[in-house]
Amino acid sequence: MLDGILNGIQYVIDMGASVMLPIVIAIISICIGIKVGKAIQSGLMIGVGFVGLSLLINMMSDQLGPAAQAMSKRFGLTLNVVDIGWPGASPMTWASNISTVAIPVAILVNVVMLLLKLTRTVNIDVWNIWHMAFTGAIVYTVTGNFTVGILGVVFHAAATYKMGDLWAPLMHQYFGMDGLTVPHGGGSCMGVVACVVDAVIDKIPGVRKINITADSLMEKAGVFGEPIIIGGILGTAVGFLAGYTPQEAFPLGVNMSAVMVLMPRVVSCIIDGLMPLSERAKEILTKKFGNAEFYIGLDPAILLRDSQVITAGLIFIPMTLLIAVLVPGNQVLPFGDLATIGFFTSVAVAVHKGNLFRTLFSGSAIMYMTIWIANETIPWMTELAKVTGSTDGGRMVAALDQGGNPLTYVFTQVFVRENIGGAALIAAIYVACLLFTVFSMRKYKKGMGQEGE
């Protein structure tokens, strides 16, 4: 019976996000009282959004990946371990022995935390449970202990739901998404770095007054500040940095213009599909728990409708390659995650209220730490790839998304203790940023008239 259920879960997972999420969302919607037709329509709308998102991300990966490699070769970068990105890391995670157990475990953790009032985040972003499963898969792979692997899932899930609570006020204040949040294993976890950077910049006279946003660029530069123009300029610049001829660079610019225009519209489909479920869930929770506030946890793709987030993502494509050169002893060539760098810096953009000048500093710090950790996890990633049959066994692999996550790294190091000094330093930096952010967000909530937790 249990094996049949787990096999069924794996069967649905294997269909991919564009099919899995519509099925899951439609079933949940029906279960909480939404009419069947409306539930199916909402599910399909989400599927349409993810198909569009996948097409855009694949196009960016196909276009930007070769450009990144060309830039690396042109500037003589000796980075010999390729970042396979989330497109490589997520299938590897779902292929691990712990994956089918991870989904019910992560959901159970959410339910228990809600009942104990340890979180206000109701996570319906089932696809991104792979981030939580990744921690479990890595720990299980390097320790051989299945129980410790499950503890990894529990730890990452609990931490991510708390991150959802932490950032919910910013989701409302900056993105205008009332009652929604993004409990995500990437950008949400790394957003704490941005709070520290923001506080430091606030202490620097003159610099703290600098405010550059896509909107301010539009005011000063007119049509040249429009997202479509910014995308074209940044895309073309990446092409020329890669050594492309005008015949090759300008098409890259046009494609990036397309991303700037189409991404917000594609993301709107996802949001439209999720709104009926979000509204019904809030209605039920309000009846059961009174005036207690809850946040519906969604995929961070919904943040990509903001022009500052997309602009920051494009800026950090060449910036991430530069940072990769500056990290001492780095072997990782950013590649697979370049198309989704916007996820890493999305919360930072909100922390800085859309100020791209500040985002340059916090984003650089975030990507530096991510690349640093990704180097440390190369042996673990390579072993997981071998165990799941994702590589021929003779090639080392890395991943910025999750392979560069401090939660996964520090938790795993507790059990393997391979680099105590490095792990202690990373843990100290991250915990300091986290504690500072929790304190800062409590003050922020009080300023908004909300109760802090």
pLDDT digits (tens, 9 = 90+) for 190-238: 999 999 999 999 999 999 999 988 777 666 656 666 778 878 888 888 8
Q: 204: which 2 tokens? A: 């620097």
For residue 278, tell me if it sits in a domain: no
Q: How confident is the model over 14-19, as a mean pLDDT? A: 70
Q: How confident is the model at residue 74 (pLDDT cuts 50, 70, 90)?
A: confident
Range of the domain at 340: 66-118+128-266+300-448
Q: How buried is 378 (Cβ within 10 angstroms: 0-12 exposed, 13-18 middle, 19+ buried)? A: middle
Which of 146-150, 399-403, 441-445 bottoms out in mean pLDDT, i.e. has the lowest? 441-445
Q: How confident is the model over 110-116, as a mean pLDDT? A: 92
- The tally of domains found in the chain comes to 1
For residue 281, tell me if it sits in a domain: no
Q: How buried is 415 (Cβ within 10 angstroms: 0-12 exposed, 13-18 middle, 19+ buried)? A: middle
The crossing angle, in degrees rounded to 10, of helices 227-241 and 214-221 is 100
| 415 pLDDT above the threshold of 60 | yes
For residue 82, tell me if it sits in a domain: yes
Give the Cα separation of 113 and 167 in Å (integer): 17
For residue 16, tell me if it sits in a domain: no
CB distance 127 to 54 below 8 Å: no
Q: How confident is the model over 367-385, as a mean pLDDT? A: 93
Specify the pTM. 0.82
Q: How buried is 449 (Cβ within 10 angstroms: 0-12 exposed, 13-18 middle, 19+ buried)? A: exposed
Q: Please give the pLDDT value at position 3.
A: 62
Q: Please give the pLDDT value at position 278.
A: 76
Give the Cα separation of 313 and 163 in Å (integer): 21
For residue 345, tell me if it sits in a domain: yes
For residue 289, tell me if it sits in a domain: no
For residue 38, tell me if it sits in a domain: no
Cα 156 from chain centroid?
Answer: 14
For residue 149, tell me if it sits in a domain: yes
Q: How confident is the model at residue 296 (pLDDT cuts 50, 70, 90)?
A: confident
C-alpha distances (whole Å) from 175 to each of 314, 350, 438 are 19, 7, 20
